[in-house]
Amino acid sequence: MPCILSKAITKIQPHHTHPVRKRGDSCGPFLVTHSKFIRRVEGLVTEDDLRQLVGSLGVGARQPELEGWDPVIAKGNDAVSYKAWCERTADGTPRYLSVTTYEGCSAELLRDFYMDNEYRMEWDNTVIKHEQLQCDENSGIEIGRTVKKFPLLTPREYILAWRVWASDENSFYCLVKECEHSLAPIQRKFVRVRLLRSGWCIRKVPGRDACEITVLHHEDNGMNIEMAKLAFSKGIWNYICKMNNALRRYPQHRGPSISISTMRRLTKKFPQDLQINMDESNRCPVNTAAAVAPPTPSSGTSPCKQLGKKSSRETIASGLLLIGSIVCLSKGRSNLGAQLAMAFFLKKAFKQDKESGSSPRGRTDTTVPMQ
């Protein structure tokens, strides 16, 4: 979720001291027990949100172009394939629809991989920090805080609430929304992302030893819209390859994970009436596979490459990836003058406003010095 100028970004220290926890807290070490830090989570992520997500994925993922989506990228190889479309929302920000297919992978493994925040910090070097803030057994809602690197720019801070459902067909749905929490006060050294709506469905591909994840993602983190779209199209395939490599290593790295144990315990059963409606809809003669089938290597797609480490002199931030709380960079070479020019261009491209320290559109980014 990518080349990162790690030497240019200082290590972020915890911004607060957590209250004392009781032994045996079921939602991990970051769940506080003092009532003043617990917020009401009812209504943050609802079944109505799930219904809207299912409707959006069911229609858009079948015939995206007919639904007004513009094709962005379609690449693949023997192990993974990726297709993405984009549409512009009413406020002008882009919303992305993507389908990623992983060969030789089960839906359960892919679900655990996506939800394992501890493992993500091992392979995704854009994630500076992740912590659990609260979880609720009754609603199945979990709240967490994530800080991500934006090379040359101010790190972004995400306060998110999410919820997972499991259907009878061994498919999984997740819905993620931005929110606020008393344990995560605004800090000027980060840009708080005020808009993130993301949802996905993981399911087995019928008739194949493969599974796919369909993602609908809408995020506004303050970046210039046209630059964000260009960066996405240029950087996403490298990121997908890196994610695939991490997925293949995941079975050997699986162990006690707070994220996974919490997710499995909080997962709710897919609503029965919605399952019935989906079953009826699936009987319609729509060629879903034809609409979202991954390209084959013979169609001119690019192979994945193991992304190795590069020295700071060889690294240039040439693209930012915007998908779910994911940012990545493509690779390139440049001298110091070109790097400074790129930094100046990125800084000028960001929207500025008089209001500071909160909204992504109301915060001027600072350029991180190059090393």
- Residue 361 falls inside a structural domain: no
- Residue 13 falls inside a structural domain: no
Output the pLDDT for position 46: 93
Judge whether residue 134 has pLDDT over 90.
Answer: yes
- Residue 12 falls inside a structural domain: no
Output the pLDDT for position 18: 39
Judge whether residue 115 has pLDDT over 60.
Answer: yes
Judge whether residue 299 has pLDDT over 70.
Answer: no
Output the pLDDT for position 1: 40
How large is the average pLDDT for residues 242-268?
Answer: 93
Judge whether residue 325 has pLDDT over 50.
Answer: no
pLDDT above 90 coverage of the chain, percent? 50
- Residue 292 falls inside a structural domain: no
Tokens of 170: 């061994």
Helices (H), 220-287: 225-253, 258-266, 272-282
- Residue 302 falls inside a structural domain: no
Higher pLDDT among residues 361 and 76, named by residue: 76
- Residue 304 falls inside a structural domain: no
- Residue 223 falls inside a structural domain: yes
Output the pLDDT for position 216: 96
Most confident of 29-38, 235-244, 352-361: 235-244
Closest alpha carbon to 201 in 83, 54, 46 = 54
Judge whether residue 260 has pLDDT over 80.
Answer: yes
Q: CA dihedral defined by 223, 189, 237, 305, rounded to 10 degrees?
A: 150
Whole-number Å distance between alpha carbons of 75 and 83? 7
Closest alpha carbon to 198 in 94, 66, 294 = 94
CB atoms within 10 A of CB 308: 6
Contacts of 27 (CB under 8 A, 6+ apart): 132, 134, 135, 137, 142, 262
Judge whether residue 11 has pLDDT over 50.
Answer: no
Output the pLDDT for position 33: 39
Output the pLDDT for position 65: 82
How large is the average pLDDT for residues 280-309?
Answer: 44
Output the pLDDT for position 81: 98
Confidence of residue 63 (pLDDT cuts 50, 70, 90): confident
Output the pLDDT for position 368: 38
CA distances to 41, 87, 192, 259 from 93, rounded to whole Å, are 27, 9, 17, 31
Whole-number Å distance between alpha carbons of 267 and 141? 9
Whole-number Å distance between alpha carbons of 69 and 87? 5
The domain of 109 spans: 23-282+312-352
How large is the average pLDDT for residues 94-115?
Answer: 97
Give the least confident one: 84-98, 135-149, 240-254, 299-313: 299-313
Burial per residue of 200-209, b for 16 or more beta-carbon CB atoms within 10 angstroms, e otherwise: bbbbbbeeee
Whole-number Å distance between alpha carbons of 264 and 27? 11
- Residue 67 falls inside a structural domain: yes
Output the pLDDT for position 39: 66
Query: Domain count of the chain?
Result: 1
Q: Say which CATH number the domain at 194 has.
A: 3.30.530.20
Confidence of residue 68 (pLDDT cuts 50, 70, 90): confident
Confidence of residue 335 (pLDDT cuts 50, 70, 90): very low
